[in-house]
Each structure stands twice: as structure tokens, then as C-alpha cells.
Structure 1
Amino acid sequence: MRATLLNCSLKRSPEPSHTQMLAESVVAAMKGWGVETTSYRLVDLRLAHGVATDLGAGDDWPRVHAAITTSQILIVATPTWVGHPSSLAQQAIERMDAMIAETDEDGRPIAYDRVAGVVVTGNEDGAHHVISEIAGALVDIGFTIPGQAWTYWNRGPGPGPSFSEISEGHAWSYATGRTMASNLVSVAKALADRPMPVTVG
């Protein structure tokens, strides 16, 4: 089983990413279930703006799209900025919009039978709002969102230290991430055994 992780941090490599740190705990838990994960830090790629899968020369999204559509699990990981997902998370959703009209060789929507989850970090509140925005968009695209397919960490209202700067709340975030990993893998296996039916009309 394969997974794709989209890290929507605004920090370029090699600068440490708080979002990547929490997301990697989910990746590690999934690895225990035999899942191989490909990770992309979107800020390091050249991503054209638009709602098509391939926007021509210099656009790196097609290889991200290929990873998503050959994986059974998608994780979107984003920091919180002014109570919302990062601009790169929104751009990823916009690029995945094209998948609504894409089908596999059997004519089934390309995102069907794939599960998705969300990881959120930030030193301000708003994690549940961010999870809801991303999860809702992924459902529209065709992904299945298992129960409790998310984990997050935030410092609470107002400015303060970031994820890697304190240990407060980490145990809960990591434990929730392990549950997220288990639920994602469990539902992905169930869909592999019993694919979603496609009804017309």
C-alpha cells in the first residue's frame, strides 16, 4: 500500500518544518502497517496556478498528481495562517479539482477508493476549521475521509512558540496521529476489498 504526503508549509528546504515533524509521526505509524510514503514539500516545487492537471512546461504538479493517483492514501499537512490553511494547501486543492472529471480505465472517478487525512500545526487556534475546509474539499473531489482521520497541534490563541520549540501537547498529537494512521489504513484496505459502486443517473 502506498501513501502520498503533501506538506504545505511555506518554509523552503532545508529549513525545518514544524508541519513535517508532526506529519512524519503519522508516516512512521503507517510504515508499521506496511505503507510506503512519498513526501512532497510543495513550496520546493514549481506549481502553476490553475485547475488543470497539467499546465505545461515547467509545471511540477503532474508528478505530484501521478503519485496521488497511484497511492491509496493521501495526507494533506498544513500550517495554520490567520485561521486558514496555507496558500499552498489551497493551491493543491485547486489543482486536484481536475480530478473530479478524471476517470480510471473502468470509467470510475479517479479519487474513488482512495482515503485522505489532514495534519495541522500552528501557534494559533483554528485547527478544526482548517481540517474541515480541507476534508470537505477532498470529499468533493472523491476521496473517502475515515472517522478521526486527522491530528493537529496548536499553542492556543495568540502568538507563542511553535511545535518544535516546546513539548506541550505533543503526546496527544502523536497519539491522535497513530489513531489517524490506523483508521486510514483500515478504511483503505476495506475499499480495496470492496470498491465503491458507481451509479449513473
Structure 2
Amino acid sequence: MNTILNKLNWRYATKKFDSSKQVSKADLDTLLEGAKLTASSYGLQPYEIYVIKNDNIRQELRKASYNQPQITDSSYLFVLANKPNFDEALIDDYIDNIVSTRGVTKEDLEGYSQSMKSALLDLPNDDKNKWSSNQAYIVLGNLMTLAAEMEIDTCPMEGFNKEQYNKILGLTKKGLNAAVVLAVGYRSTEDDTQHYPKVRYSQEQIITHI
């Protein structure tokens, strides 16, 4: 079987982490570089990633996560925070980055800039939030796949109080919103769920070829 498929079969949503095993700084950097390189709509990256190691903060976040142990027992907790009410600064900053990176002028990019602004800035706030949150989920998927390739365990988590996360991490005042959480570390030998057969629908049930 293809190696990546082997790794995807190996991974599961880890319920119990071994807190004595820590992800190395080098491996953490690889994961974060992978997150940075993840595709996003227009390349705008309308999110930020918080890497939480501080024990006191994680204890607070655990209380805001229905006391789920992955929050505190994993090596790191990634909080993917989207930008729910972005304005033209999101696009202008991206254009500046293209100018700096590729050596082109703003005039060269004026049409592209206006196209993005026309498509995004007039969206209702709810739609802006959904769109930027969707971009954060692309990062989530990429991180989980990369971690599996490195045989690092993860658990994606939506079971948390976003308002409390935003308050604890000071996200709201930064124009951010906690979209989804990813616990990262190594599975405990006591986590029985690692031995459960993976339950998925067949390709015939979920894939249509046209």
C-alpha cells in the first residue's frame, strides 16, 4: 500500500496522550512550516495559529473545553484562529507581500487587488466568518496529514467554548476568533481507541465519477 495511505490508516483522533513524550522543537518547526505553506483562497491566509505550551493557560482552556484531557496532556495545543470581520487591510497587506516577494509593482497587481476586494469585502459578516473559518480548516487538514506522515499524533477538536477561548487568549481584541483546535503529541499505550478498526464508507458510497 502507498506509504501515505499507510500513515493515514495509522492515524486516529487520539483520546489519550502520553504527557511524558514531547514533540521535538525540530518537528514542531516542520509542522508549522507545513501550516505556513498550506493553500488558502487567493493566498490570503485569513487566520493566525496559536501554539500553546503554557501549562496555566492550557488548564484554563481545558475548563473551556468540557475538561477534555487532550488539551493539557498533548505536547502542544494549536488554536487556529480565523479573521471573522476582515477589511481591505487583509488584501492590501497581501498585495504588499507579493510586491516584496516577487519584485512587481502595486500597479501590476491593481486588477487582482480589486477582484479580491469585489469578491470579499461586501460579504455579510456571517459569510466573512464562514469563509475565513473554512480557510483555517484547510490548514487543519494539512497539519493532520503532515503529522501522520511524521508519526506524530493529533486530535482535531471542535468541542470548546469559543467565547471563552477568545477571552483567555485575547483573540477578540486582535480581530480573531478561535475556529478549531488541534492537540499534537504522542498517543498513550492506555488509549484503547488506537486499536479500533477504522470506520469509513467505501469509495463506492461516497465518490461519484462523472
TM-score normalised by the chain length of structure 2: 0.26
> RCO greater where, 1 or 2, for CA within 8 Å and sep 6 or more?
2
Flag the structure with larger Rg.
2
Normalized per residue, the structure richer in helix is 2
TM-score normalised by the chain length of structure 1: 0.27
